[in-house]
Amino acid sequence: MHSSEEFAAMQLHFSETIDKLEKDLRRQTKIIQRSDHRQQKEYDELQQKYKEISVLSDEIEATQREVVFTMGAIGESRSKETGQHVKRVAEYSYLLATHYGLDETECEMLRQASPMHDIGKIAIPDAILNKPGRFDAAERKIMDTHAQLGFDLLQHSQRPLLKIAATVAYEHHEKYDGTGYPQGLKGEEIHIHGRITSLADVFDALGSPRVYKAAWEDDRIFQLLREERGKQFDPKLIDIFFTHLDKFLMIRDQFCDT
Amino acid sequence: MKNLSIAPTKYTPSINLDANTGIFEIIGKSYPENTFEFYQPMMEWVENYFSSEPQEQTTVNLEIIYFNSSSSKLFFDFFDIFDAKKSKHAICINWIYDAENENAEEAGEDFIEDFTDLKINLVVKDA
């Protein structure tokens, strides 16, 4: 049996424990209320910041796209080609990249970079660039430097997009069988971005009038592409092209010159 | 008694408890994954400080920029230690925060409300 002192001590201990629990509970409730309030505020802020970043990022991307297209158009305009040409090359490249199996980000970057393939032409004299008729050997040699020149212009950039553009400028005249220029790369030594832009550019150029030639008929274009499968062009890309021919022709209609 | 010094991390504040001067400083962010585990050495150190030879005046400077809910709870427990010693020792707690830090301000007010007999100063730093 407990003595009355022991009992009183137990009572005291009990009431102290209850006090402590009540105090903890009161604090806990307050902490949770404050925390809920803060979470709400923090999440609101987060969403607001995210919105701001997303607007900025859209702005940056749009600016980048425009600058890139303008640069590409500068290269083209000096040779009397249209701004539509670079747009079509961009879309063809994107389509080829997608079906080749590159990931979406890379496809989108190539779409933006491929219009810069001829940027080196800004350093080619007008007399050669816009000469009607065929180039003589010396003129051809100068004309062919535009790939190297384009690469030289872009190669120092660390931006991923401009790095792709540098590759595309450098390698878009390489041929799958190794007979292209400026490096004479062969097969998959040529970067996929170079192989893709090469086909996109040639397909579009053949179907467009130039100072030195009329636009080719479709049948003649398709025949040449088939003949050059595995020679000038990556056979896989030629296969993709013919499998999805309707999509390529749709792009051509959508971005036509008139 | 040896001083306690813990370097700051991304989630935890710097802790400097000086037994010779009686000045305790906790500065930085406090949102570790296991708050009570992190602060356990500090809690034990403070208990030991009071049961050995504490300074006449003990000053606690807390400047917590960001803290999670369990840190709030921990600070209540931390202040409980001082609350139990306040009748025998001179203790002053400075809760320091930037003027625009509403969360820190509210927490400071909660502490004052809870510890009616403990000397807690809200110290606002001008931006």
Q: In what order do the strands lie in the sheet with B4-6?
A: B4-6, B14-18, B23-30, B57-67, B90-98, B120-125
Report chain A residues whose CB lies below 8 A from the CB of B103: 34, 38
Q: Give the pLDDT confidence of A189-236 residue by residue, as tens digits.
A: 999 999 999 999 999 999 988 777 788 999 999 999 999 999 999 999
Q: Give the pLDDT confidence of B51-61 residue by residue, as tens digits.
A: 998 999 999 99
DSSP state of B127: -
Catalytic residue among A87, A121, A175, A236: A121
> HEC profile for A128-186?
HHCCCCCCCHHHHHHHHHHHHHHHHHHCCCCCHHHHHHHHHHHHCCCCCCCCCCCCCCC
Q: Give the pLDDT confidence of A140-176 residue by residue, as tens digits.
A: 999 999 999 999 999 998 888 899 999 999 999 999 9
Residue A64 lies in a domain: no
A198 closest CA partner among A172, A162, A167 = A172
pLDDT confidence of residue B89: 92
Question: Which pLDDT band holds residue A82 (cuts at 50, 70, 90)?
Answer: low
Q: How far is B103 from chain A (nearest CA, A)?
A: 7
Who among A26, A27, A38 is closest to B73 (CB)? Answer: A27
CB distance B103–A31 less than 8 Å?
no
Disruptive mutation site among B31, B79, B103, B111 for chain A (greatest number of A CBs within 10 Å): B103
pLDDT confidence of residue A217: 93
Known active-site residue A121: yes
Residue A25 lies in a domain: no
Share of chain A above pLDDT 90, in %: 69
Domain of A90 in residue numbering reads as 72-254
A114 closest CA partner among A77, A89, A146, A97 = A89
DSSP state of B84: H
Is the distance from CB of A165 to CB of A194 less than 8 angstroms?
A: no
Cα→Cα distances B98→A110, B57, B59, B65, B103, Å? 48, 26, 20, 8, 10
Is the distance from CB of A251 to CB of A95 less than 8 angstroms?
A: yes
Give the phi and the psi of residue A155 in degrees, each rounded to 5: -65, -20
CB distance A34–B76 less than 8 Å?
no
- Return the residue of B nearest to A26 by Cα: B114
**What's the residue count for chain A?**
258
Residue A39 lies in a domain: no
Q: How far is A33 from chain B (nearest CA, A)?
A: 10
Residue A237 lies in a domain: yes
Q: Give the pLDDT confidence of A92-106 residue by residue, as tens digits.
A: 999 999 999 999 999
Maximum pairwise Cα distance, chain B: 40
Please report the sign of the dihedral spanned by the C-alpha atoms of residue B50, residue B55, residue B59, residue B65. Answer: negative
Tell me whether strands B23-30 and B57-67 are parallel, antiparallel or unpaired: parallel
Which carries the bigger pLDDT value, residue B4 or residue A130?
B4
Report chain B residues whose CB lies below 8 A from the CB of A22: none
The answer for B 64-123 residues in CB contact with A (under 8 A) is 68-69, 72-73, 76, 103, 106-107, 110, 114
Question: Which pLDDT band holds residue A80 (cuts at 50, 70, 90)?
Answer: low
pLDDT confidence of residue A3: 82
Residue A42 lies in a domain: no
pLDDT confidence of residue A78: 64
Q: Give the pLDDT confidence of A167-188 residue by residue, as tens digits.
A: 999 999 999 999 999 999 999 9
Share of chain B above pLDDT 70, in %: 99
Give the phi and the psi of residue B117 in degrees, each rounded to 5: -105, 5
Report chain B residues whose CB lies below 8 A from the CB of A30: 110
Residue A220 lies in a domain: yes
The span from the CA of A182 to the CA of A35, in Å, is 65
Residue A75 has pLDDT above 90, yes or no: no
> HEC profile for A70-101?
HHHHHHHHCCCCCHHHHHHHHHHHHHHHHHHC
Q: What angle do CA A88, A119, A187 make, to 5 degrees?
A: 75
pLDDT confidence of residue A48: 97
Residue A48 lies in a domain: no
A177 closest CA partner among A230, A227, A223 = A230
Q: How far is A4 from chain B (nearest CA, A)?
A: 28
Residue A12 lies in a domain: no
DSSP state of A190: S
**Burial label, B46 (beta-carbon count in 10 A; 0-12, 13-18, 19+):** buried
The span from the CA of A73 to the CA of A27, in Å, is 67
DSSP state of A189: G
CB distance A30–B110 less than 8 Å?
yes
Is the distance from CB of A31 to CB of A37 less than 8 angstroms?
A: no
Report chain A residues whose CB lies below 8 A from the CB of B72: 31, 34-35
Report chain A residues whose CB lies below 8 A from the CB of B76: 27, 31
Q: Give the pLDDT confidence of B6-60 residue by residue, as tens digits.
A: 999 999 999 999 999 999 999 999 999 999 999 999 999 999 999 998 999 999 9
Question: At A109, which amino acid appears?
Answer: M
CATH of the domain at A250: 1.10.3210.10
Question: Which pLDDT band holds residue A258 (cuts at 50, 70, 90)?
Answer: low
The count of domains in chain A is 1
**Burial label, A2 (beta-carbon count in 10 A; 0-12, 13-18, 19+):** exposed
Which carries the bigger pLDDT value, residue A70 or residue A41?
A41
